[in-house]
Structure 1
Amino acid sequence: MGIRQLNGEQFKDMLKAGAANLTRHIEKVNALNVFPVPDGDTGTNMNLTMSSGVNELSKQSFSHVGKTAQAFSKGLLMGARGNSGVILSQLFRGFSKALADADELNAVSLATALSQGVSAAYSAVIKPVEGTILTVAKDAALGAQKSAEINDDLLEVMKATIDSAEKSLAKTPDLLPILKEVGVVDSGGQGLVYIYIGFLQALQGNAVVEELVPTISNELHLDPAQLHLKTDDITFGYCTEFLIHLEQESNFDLAVVRGQLQKWGDSIVAVADDELVKIHIHTEKPGDILNFGQKFGELKGIKIENMRQQHAQILSSAPTIASQKKQPFGIVAVSAGEGISRILKGLGVQEVVSGGQSMNPSTEDLLKAAQRISAENIIFLPNNKNIVMAAEQAASMLDTPAFVIPSRTIPQGIAAMLAYHADTAIVQNLQHMTEALSHVKSGQVTKAVRDSKWDELDIHEGDFLGMLEGDIVVNGQGLPQTALRLLASLIGEDDEVLTILFGQDVEKEQADELANQVEEAYPQLEIDVHFGGQPIYPYIFSVE
């Protein structure tokens, strides 16, 4: 017996089943990921994106298919992560627009929605590449259209969709040389096939559907495909994505923005509705991208990931962590810049998670980092007040004993690591590292993005702001002058050491000149200058 139509609730079950089936196959999709960079997170990003859509569905109940599709699409856009996740969100954005006025879903409307989803996804990607999820989605939609022309059974249309998707997936190595080189199919396309199989499972009443994971040899790789590639092959190392909540007076033009982004990187996806813009780009200058986006409104959901680091971790984790001898301690620290990451690793941190102010890593990011370490005890250094709770939640989810040193700044995190000793018992290490937090004073210089007032300070857009332990204490129009005034508030008579971490937009000569001026004013200080590479904050100061 065929299925001629679905109402909103039945359609919701179909969407949830697609997400659930993808969840069951995350690691298989991750293991295939080599394009556009071999960072091994396509399955994770698609799953998080789908989960966000399902979470939005759980907040409401509609009998109207169009409203159900709209809610799902909104959730996907808000939670879209990574290139594959943003493309997935656009597939379902076009899908939902096609169903906007539909009370029920039938064979023709399903095929039409799949086709419009493809159009929306292709439009969102500045340089579409064939042999990816886009190709699989396009061929799947063509299969659905052909089936809908000859029958009105949703089951048959969905079967035809999957059949076309699987055939297209098997051909992706012929379209994308990197896939043929490594011997895999496209990871994003594989993820989409799993979603469509979940749809069919729901239509069949959760019947078991045979899984298909085709590779060139028709065998599943036991090792991640990323092992076959080099980290140095990654041209643009930072996967940067965020939402812009558009200001009413902003002069935003999506076409112009897409053109501007091309000078900063590749793998660009930029999509928008009336209120929100989603940006995804692989770049070497994430700070420039954030500054550019901030011109149009408030930034939300910022995520910056070092893809070279991700790939290097995949390489270093082979063979499996389980075969390695456990270390006494494993330390996970949050870092806001390339130079800061090097400093933390030099002090003994095994796993560095990119993040900081306005780009907080999730509990899952911290948890996954900890799980990559084979250790008897895990210590988290959040290094930001907004990340402490996520670190505590990650610690509670580990099977290994895990502890959080509540470091609220990068200088505190570095101070904690200076107090850490690998040959000391866990209790003493936790005590010494926690005590070290109070032995350092932290300062930061950043830039105001709008006019405001803070205590007695009148702040204007473009002012430099000097912050002492998170509180704004000075502001001014010049960076060196503001930095010196902040240091006057930081440095006391008994202080001995000043560490200057300069950001990605500051030249070494500028930092050295600032250090010379400080040395003249405070000859008793030992001054160290290091490249931090952090965005947003030209200078981070540590005073002890």
Structure 2
Amino acid sequence: MPQTADEMDAVAVRTWCSLALEALGREREAIDAINVYPVADGDTGTNLYLTVESANQAVEAVFAAHETGTTVPVAADVVRAMAHGALIGARGNSGTILAQLLRGMAGVLAGGHDADHLRRALTSAAVAARQAVAHPVEGTVLTVATVAAEAAGSTADDAGTAAVAAAAYEGARTALEATPGQLAVLGRAGVVDAGGRGLLTVLGALVEAVSGRAPERTYVAAPAPALLVPDDCAVADAEGGPAFEVIYLLEATDGAVDRLRTRLDGLGDSLVVVGGDGLWNVHVHVDDAGAAVEAGVEAGRPYRIRITHFGADRAHPHAEPVQRAVVVVVPGDGLRGLCEEAGATTVLARPGEPPASGELVDAIRRAHAREVVLLPNDAELRHTAAAAAEQARAEGVRVALIPTRAAVQGIAALAVHEPDRSFDEDVVAMTAAAGATRYAELAVAERQSWTMAGICQAGDILGLIDGDVAVIGEDVPETARNVLDRMLAAGGELVTLVLGEDVPDSLADALEEHVREGYLAVDTVMYRGGHQCAPLLIGVE
């Protein structure tokens, strides 16, 4: 049941995040359909959904840590988790601005959760969002946020949080309806601002979280997608704007970020830099993506870098879907390149940050196919992948989920993929190839612990076969040889080695020689996994 206590405590914030995610899930396609500014790439709803999904996951993690206790988390911890989750998961121009709005709110709500704190939080959010955008434009989500804050601030001193939230919602609704008259591109397309529409949805969830009742949604629904963006508008935008969207997280000092803003502002447009306390989310549209990343390297340590070519993405709404595609989760940049060369759409799994279901759904949409084979390559992703597959099926895509548990199983499945044969036959062949591949991984023990192979000490090299520790060694080469011997004792025809970034080629050469000398009929192939990959992945099929 929605939270009905008239305050923004920990439970209300949790409820707000959950309701906002549900609402954006329902309205994502409608918001995507009216996305014409700053780029008509039809992804504002999706980006907002993914941003809120990350915020919601962070909040749920805080509550999960209290499951064994009898009290709920401290409200300040929950709102900070919400803001941090949105920051690290922000996608696109709209998601980045929403992350800053939530961060601005969290800075105030961490100090209290009554109506007055909510008023001041909404004002802080609107100010912070404007400061994050290099060149604020009226008629956008920034205007909607400002008017919402002003409406909330005009409520009576004795008004409760429900009344303040309702006033913010009504102010946002009024501002949203006025956006076509403020921004010419919206007026020509006959739509309201997509980012503002998404913020209104989030504020509607806030009203429901603190009052128990969803507000009446009286804004005009989006017209059919085919009628939204005139062809001349879309073409002009595609030809006139920058070619790439660049997004990355950045660890840097405030002074370095100030210099970065100046540098990126000269390289492109739609510049939004949000965050603080040493962690920032950078978003910019540029023609030279490499220069934008290099600027981040000069400022600090950029990571989780996403570069999107607008030309490819803009073609999708009007292009005929391909018949079949493969979507694969990969644990490193090297494997991503390998799989993309084979024609797959990839999702990068970062250490400690498994992809969310929304990210998998987004990848399925990017594949733009009638039929999709999904390879999660991780046993822990089975429920996430199943949820993504179910959502994609609801959107009319035929999805087959092959429960691959490791990257080497995904490589084996992708190797036998043949899009020209029937979908069922292709899925059966790929499933059989994955199932016939035993997998292993070398990892470094972080602390002393009990394992199926005995007690390991911190720093030991662990050889995991099919997910269980089978070998404990002192160095990588010795442990790798022992793991290979155990796996090949049960037979095999092909060994696949995937090396991490810091592992020398000499290890692959030594292991290939070991296999050649001890197992005459077995071939060996080697790939580079990249810096986010484990030291060594092994597949035997």
Alpha-carbon shift at residue 45 of structure 1 (Å):
1.5
- Inter-partner Cα distance in structure 2 for 1:356 and 1:62: 31
Identity of aligned residues (%): 27
Provide the residue aligned with 2:37 in structure 1: 35
2:276 to 250, 273, 277: 273
Aligned residue in 1 for 2:489: none
Q: Does the residue aligned with 1:236 lie in a helix, a strand or coil?
A: coil
Contact 1:240 1:283 in 2 (8 A): yes
Contact 1:344–1:414, Cα closer than 8 Å, also in 2: no
| CA spacing shift, 1:243–1:204, aligned 2, 3 Å | same
Are the equivalent residues in 2 in contact too, given 1:173–1:179 (CA < 8 A)? yes
Contact 1:7 1:64 in 2 (8 A): no
Aligned counterpart, 1:105: 114
Write the letter of the residue equivalent to 1:402: A
Deviation at 1:111, TM superposition (A): 2.0
In 1, Cα distance between the equivalents of 2:44 and 2:103? Answer: 19
The match for 1:87 is: 97
**Alignment partner of 1:164 is 2:174:** no
Residue aligning to 1:367: 361
Q: Does 1:422 align with 2:425?
A: no
Q: Does the 8 Å CA contact 2:49/2:358 hold for their aligned counterparts?
A: no
Aligned amino acid, residue 193 of structure 1:
L
Structure 1 residue 470 corresponds to structure 2 residue 479? no
Cα drift, residue 224 of structure 1? 7.0
Q: Deviations over 1:67-92 (max 9, x none)?
A: 44333222222222221111111112
Aligned match of 2:9 = 8
Q: In the superposition, relative to structure 1, how do residues 414 and 67 fare at CA in structure 2: closer, same or farther (>3 Å)?
A: closer
Match of 2:258 in 1: 255
Q: Deviations over 1:90-138 (max 9, x none)?
A: 1122222233422x312x3322221111111111111111111001001
Matches within 5 A, 1:182-221: 182-207=189-214, 209-213=216-220, 220-221=223-224
C-alpha contact 1:239 1:307 (8 A) present in aligned 2: yes
CA deviation after TM superposition for structure 1 residue 363, in Å: 4.9
CA root-mean-square deviation: 5.0
- The aligned amino acid for 2:248 is F
Q: Is contact 1:18-1:199 (8 Å) kept?
A: yes
Tell me how far apart the structure 2 counterparts of residues 208 and 20 of structure 1 sit (CA, whole Å). Answer: 15
Which residue pairs with 2:472 in the alignment? none
The answer to whether the aligner puts 1:75 opposite 2:82 as a matched pair is: no
1:379-398 superposed matches below 5 A: 379-380=373-374, 394=385, 397-398=389-390
| Aligned partner of 1:378 among 367, 372, 376 | 372
Give structure 2 stretches of 5+ with no counterpart: 64-70, 437-474, 477-496, 514-529, 533-541
Change in 2 beyond 3 A, CA 1:360/1:267: farther
Query: What pairs up with 1:73-472 in 2 under 5 angstroms?
Result: 73-102=83-112, 104-106=113-115, 108-148=116-156, 151-207=158-214, 209-213=216-220, 220-223=223-226, 225-226=228-229, 228=231, 229-230=234-235, 232-233=238-239, 235-246=241-252, 252-295=255-298, 297-316=300-319, 327=323, 329-332=324-327, 352-353=345-346, 363-370=357-364, 375=370, 378-380=372-374, 394=385, 397-398=389-390, 400=398, 402=400, 416=415, 420=418, 422-423=420-421, 426-427=424-425, 431=429, 469-471=498-500
Between the aligned partners of 2:129 and 2:399, the Cα distance in structure 1 is 44
Q: 1:193 to 1:94 in 2, by over 3 A?
A: same
Following TM superposition, by how much is the alpha carbon of 1:179 offset from its aligned partner in structure 2, in angstroms?
0.8
Q: In the TM superposition, what whole-angstrom CA distance separates every residue of 1:351-401 from its partner, at most 9, and x where no partner exists?
A: x457698999765444344466564x533578xx8x898699647835545
Name the structure 2 match of 1:465: none
Q: What is the CA distance between 1:258 and its match in structure 2? A: 0.7
Partner of 2:460: none
Could you tell me whether the CA contact under 8 Å between 1:363 and 1:391 is conserved in 2?
A: no
One-letter amino acid of the counterpart of residue 420, structure 1? E
Aligned residues of 2:90 and 2:96 also touching (Cα < 8 A): yes
Q: Whole-Å Cα distance in 2 between the matches of residues 26 and 365 of structure 1?
A: 14
CA distance change for structure 1 residues 415 and 116 in 2, over 3 Å: closer, same or farther? closer
Separation in structure 2 between the aligned mates of residue 472 and residue 203 of structure 1, nearest angstrom: 49
Q: SS of 1:24's equivalent?
A: helix
Separation in 2, partners of 1:309, 1:79: 23
Partners of 1:234 and 1:390 in 2: how far apart? 41
Deviates more, 1:31-40 or 1:67-76: 67-76
Go from structure 1 to structure 2 and tell me whether the alpha carbon gap of 1:132 and 1:420 turns closer, same or farther (over 3 Å shift).
Answer: same
Work out whether residues 44 and 194 of structure 2, in 8 Å CA contact, stay in contact via their aligned partners in 1. Answer: yes
Contact 1:304 1:354 in 2 (8 A): no
Distance 1:470 1:47, change over 3 A: same
- Counterparts of 1:35-74 in structure 2, within 5 Å, are 35-58=37-60, 59-60=62-63, 65-74=75-84
Q: Is the 8 A contact 2:126 2:145 kept in 1?
A: yes
Deviations 1:126-174 (A, max 9, x none): 111111100100111111122246x524343333222221111111112
- 1:19-60 residue CA offsets vs partner (Å, 9 max, x unmatched): 443333222211111111112221122122223223333314
Matches of 2:354 and 2:59, distance apart in 1: 25
Q: Could you tell me which runs of 5 or more consecutive residues in structure 1 were left unpaired when the two chains were aligned.
A: 439-454, 457-467, 476-481, 493-533, 537-544
Structure 2 vs 1, CA of residues 408 and 69 (structure 1 numbering), >3 Å: closer, same or farther?
closer
The CA distance in 1 between the partners of 2:346 and 2:242, in whole Å, is 18
Query: Number of residue pairs matched?
Result: 444
Letter in 2 for 1:30: D
